[in-house]
């Protein structure tokens, strides 16, 4: 990484001009930085003919904290490689990589600026018919084709090594599984939530379930995960769903991405109690979110099972009934990770705008209590679910 | 590995003389090859003063099959590294590495020639009081200190990569989990056993459990395993127990080594029905073997739990009750892998002398049927066990 330098708009234009691949030779290019993430610079480069591309460069530190939190540039390689691998399987739902330079930790991506970030759209109560099926399809296919059902053991072992991502995994390990359950400096919640947080931390059964989920996160290289499937990592419009930002990608438990996605839908569900006052409109949005969850679950399950029945290459794993057993475990894991996501986004370091942007303090607190309690109940009850319908029934028995 | 050359006795003496570390400068050294394994050359080098060392060199092919089955030399590095890491934790029960040369795939080891190979001793109905406690201690400590309870996630991820061992794992994956359950060329059993084998292969519940065990073998880097703990990998006398030959070492499920060891004790148990005619003597030997199993289980469990209670560094995994949950799963896995070992040693490629050396064909067949059926019952019932006593009761309810 010795040749790394941090880019600015001028350097980006020089670099792109030099590559000579994306615009007419004599195009007049402009460029601006617009990243609002925590870890990267994001530039848009455009000509005067409405052609544009995105240039993303990883910073050697976490932008939100400053240069005091150094962070490996290797994540840019991992992000580009995950996008390429997932893109081969699901080209329609994965942001396209046009170029990657590992030394510069720099990736050129298709510009998805004509789409919108899902989180903002949900916060405005905009709905998307394709969303759940597209995400389910992406999660099922990318996870199946990187699992032991499909890859030979030696192919998979080589990929596990290639996608070893200790520094970004450590962020998840800490923020997702550790901090929320103890006094940690990075936690972030209002004093009024303290009693609820204390109750949570006293629940011994919960702590054991969280330990199981963390151990699984550490010790189950089941597939090449996206690693950060929240609603801010998904671009949408009526006809498109595009996953971006898999820099947390690594080989982990299949239920993790699925649970993260559903968790973010449920965070939005909880937030809508304070976001929409008009009851019919609120119920419509919440029904949409629950439908999304139901469809994601059933579509993920059906797609995975069909792939397992028709494309499993491992002889032992073809055993009659094994895929169903495996998927039940994936569902249980997903419910658990979903619960963790609800909890850590409410009291941990990284929050969601769905909740944080609620202006009324009391209403926000009520939403936080709701999210926290829902997370706890899901984690505790995850292992009761045998089918996707069990998961759905569990969720609707605890929400509202 | 470009500088690899296959050694003979003369080259070994030259090499050892050159190193100048193990004998007097002017010692007169002799050397002979005595390996009876399948994958390596094993030399003893000695002076005239009863000093001796072992020189082990990996061959680039499987010796038992010939040069047509090429095999990575990297296994010599893995074997030496596992011995060194396990030896740091359990110096008394691990063969000592005196020198290692990765290019030559060559390791110099302490000579354990004053001890005996456990398998041969058990076949002669010799018993060893320390055996079960020593093995349990070795398995518990080496597995705990290489687990997520103790290692930081990034330490562990680096070790998982270092000990990625695809070629030798592939041998286990095929011979242990695949071949016995289908028509495979490498299988090896008498025609008279065919009906029992067919019954086994028709047991759908069994095949699903085997799939679970294989998936776990592929997807659970819980600890740095020895990878091949059979009674031919253990040197013993009344005062010593020494583990050798961890060339199958990799990060896998903790129950695998424990199950392999118990499986080999049970293979011997089954074989004693045909080996010892005199009933009191046979019962004594079989009671010894069952006691060994009971002590291995309880001692492994107690040691592991004590380490988990006092030395767990991961915050989440310290949750009250998690270690007990984890150990129950390890026990269930061990019972399953034990069952697989019984089956694959009876009908797969690699057999055990315990059974194969029984001269009476009918008696041998009866033992094989016994081992096969016991293996099946253990795999099917493994998940009923919650405690070490459950495991012991399960075993004694099926043996007799």
Say whether A319 and B208 touch across the interface (CB within 8 A). yes
pLDDT of residue A241: 98
HEC assignment per residue over chain B = CCCCCCCCHHHHHHHHHHHCCCCCCCCCCEEEECCCCCCEEEEEEECCCCCEEEEEEECCECCCCCCCCECCCHHHHHHHHHHHHHHHHCHHHECCEEEEECCCCEEEEECCCCCEEHHHHHHCCCCCCCHHHHHHHHHHHHHHHCCCCCCCHHHHHHHHHHCCCHHHHHHHHHHHHHHHHCCCCCCCCCHHHHHHHHHHHCCHHHHHHHHHHHHHHHHCCCEECCCCCCHHHEEECCCCEEECCCCCCCEECCHHHHHHHHHHHHHHHHHHHHHCCCHHHHHHHHHHHHHHHHHHHHHHHHHHHHHHHHHCCCCHHHCCCHHHHHHHHHHHHHHHHHHHHHHHHHHCCCCCHHHHCCCCHHHHHHHHHHHHHHHHHHHHHHHHCCCHHHHHHHHHHHCC
* Neighboring chain B residues of A178 at a CB cutoff of 8 Å: 315-316
* Neighboring chain A residues of B319 at a CB cutoff of 8 Å: 204, 207-208, 210-211
Q: For chain A, give every domain's residue range.
A: 9-110, 116-398
Is B245 annotated in a binding site? The answer is yes
Q: Any idea how long chain A is?
A: 400
Is B92 annotated in a binding site? The answer is no
Say whether B208 and A321 touch across the interface (CB within 8 A). yes
Q: CA nearest B176 in A: which residue?
A: A316
* CATH pick for A116-398 out of 3.30.565.10, 3.90.1200.10, 3.50.50.60, 3.40.50.300: 3.90.1200.10
| Residuewise pLDDT in 10s, chain A (400 residues) | 468 999 999 999 999 999 999 999 999 999 999 987 668 999 999 999 999 999 999 998 775 555 667 889 999 999 999 999 999 999 999 999 999 999 999 999 999 999 999 999 999 999 999 999 999 999 999 999 999 999 999 999 999 999 999 999 999 999 999 999 999 999 999 999 999 999 999 999 999 999 999 999 999 999 999 999 999 999 999 999 999 999 999 999 999 999 999 999 999 999 999 999 999 999 999 999 999 999 999 999 999 999 999 999 999 999 999 999 999 999 999 999 999 999 999 999 999 999 999 999 999 999 999 999 999 999 999 999 999 999 999 999 999 6
CATH superfamily of B9-110: Phosphorylase Kinase; domain 1 (3.30.200.20)
Of B148, B170, B211, the CB nearest to A219: B148
A75 in reach of chain B (CB within 8 A): no
Say whether A153 and B164 touch across the interface (CB within 8 A). no
Query: Nearest CA of chain B to the CA of A157: how many Å?
Result: 7
Residue of B176, B215, B320 best to disrupt the A interface, most CBs of A under 10 A: B215
**A249 token code pair:** 């990608």
Say whether B170 and A164 touch across the interface (CB within 8 A). no
Is B60 annotated in a binding site? The answer is no
Q: Which strands, in side-by-side order, build the sheet including B241-243?
A: B116-117, B234-236, B241-243
Ordered alpha helix ranges (H), chain A: 9-19, 74-89, 118-123, 131-145, 153-162, 166-172, 194-202, 204-219, 255-275, 279-311, 322-347, 353-356, 361-381, 388-398
Q: Say if strands B234-236 and B116-117 run parallel, antiparallel, or are unpaired.
A: antiparallel
pLDDT of residue B69: 73
Residues of A marked as binding for substrate?
Answer: 228, 344
- At residue A223, φ and ψ (nearest 5 deg) are -160, 170
Residues of A marked as binding for ATP?
Answer: 40, 56, 110-112, 245-247
Is B222 annotated in a binding site? The answer is no
Of A156, A207, A319, the CB nearest to B319: A207
pLDDT of residue B130: 97
By three-state DSSP, how is residue A206 classified? helix
* Neighboring chain B residues of A156 at a CB cutoff of 8 Å: 218
B181 in reach of chain A (CB within 8 A): yes
Residue B235 pLDDT > 50: yes
pLDDT of residue B1: 45
Of A214, A314, A325, the CB nearest to B212: A325
Is A365 in contact with A192 (CB distance < 8 Å)? yes
Say whether B153 and A320 touch across the interface (CB within 8 A). no
What is the pLDDT confidence band of residue B63, given thresholds at 50, 70 and 90? low
Q: CA nearest A161 in B: which residue?
A: B161
Say whether B212 and A322 touch across the interface (CB within 8 A). yes
Say whether A178 and B315 touch across the interface (CB within 8 A). yes
pLDDT digits (tens, 9 = 90+) for A323-359: 999 999 999 999 999 999 999 999 999 999 999 999 9
A380 in reach of chain B (CB within 8 A): no
By three-state DSSP, how is residue A101 classified? strand
A70 in reach of chain B (CB within 8 A): no
B237 in reach of chain A (CB within 8 A): no
Is A1 in contact with A73 (CB distance < 8 Å)? yes
């Amino acid at each position: 990484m010795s040749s790394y330098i941090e880019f600015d708009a001028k350097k980006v234009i020089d670099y792109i001009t030099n590559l000579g691949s994306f615009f007419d030779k004599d195009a007049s290019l402009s460029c601006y930085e617009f990243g609002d993430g925590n870890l990267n610079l994001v530039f848009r480069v455009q000509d005067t003919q409405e052609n544009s591309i995105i240039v993303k460069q990883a910073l050697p530190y976490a932008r939100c904290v400053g240069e005091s939190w150094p962070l490996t540039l290797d994540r840019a390689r991992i992000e580009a490689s995950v996008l390429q691998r997932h893109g081969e399987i699901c080209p329609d739902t994965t942001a396209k990589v046009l170029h990657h330079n590992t030394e510069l930790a720099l990736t050129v991506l298709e510009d998805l600026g004509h789409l919108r970030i899902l989180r903002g759209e949900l916060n405005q109560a905009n709905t998307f018919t394709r969303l759940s099926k597209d995400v389910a399809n992406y999660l099922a296919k990318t996870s199946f084709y990187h699992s032991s059902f499909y890859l030979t053991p030696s192919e998979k072992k080589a990929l596990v090594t290639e996608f070893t991502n200790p520094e970004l995994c450590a962020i998840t390990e800490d923020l997702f599984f550790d901090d929320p359950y103890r006094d940690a400096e990075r936690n972030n919640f209002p004093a009024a939530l303290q009693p609820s947080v204390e109750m949570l931390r006293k629940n011994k059964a919960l702590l054991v379930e969280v330990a199981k989920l963390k151990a699984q996160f550490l010790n189950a290289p089941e597939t090449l995960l996206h690693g950060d499937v929240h609603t801010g990592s998904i671009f949408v419009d009526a006809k498109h769903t595009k996953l971006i930002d898999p820099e947390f990608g690594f080989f982990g438990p299949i239920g993790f991405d699925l649970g993260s996605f559903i968790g973010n839908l449920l965070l939005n569900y909880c937030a809508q109690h304070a976001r929409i006052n008009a009851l019919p409109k609120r119920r419509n949005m919440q029904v949409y979110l629950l439908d999304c969850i139901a469809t994601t679950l059933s579509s993920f399950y059906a797609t995975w099972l069909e792939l397992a029945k028709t494309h499993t290459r491992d002889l032992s794993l073809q055993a009659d009934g094994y895929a169903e057993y495996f998927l039940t475990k994936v569902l249980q894991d997903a419910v658990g990770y979903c619960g963790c996501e609800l909890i850590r986004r409410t009291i941990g370091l990284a929050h969601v705008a769905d909740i944080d942007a609620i202006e009324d303090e009391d209403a926000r607190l009520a939403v936080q209590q709701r999210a926290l309690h829902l997370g706890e109940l899901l984690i505790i009850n995850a292992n009761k679910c045998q089918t996707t319908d069990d998961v759905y029934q569990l969720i609707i028995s605890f929400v509202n």
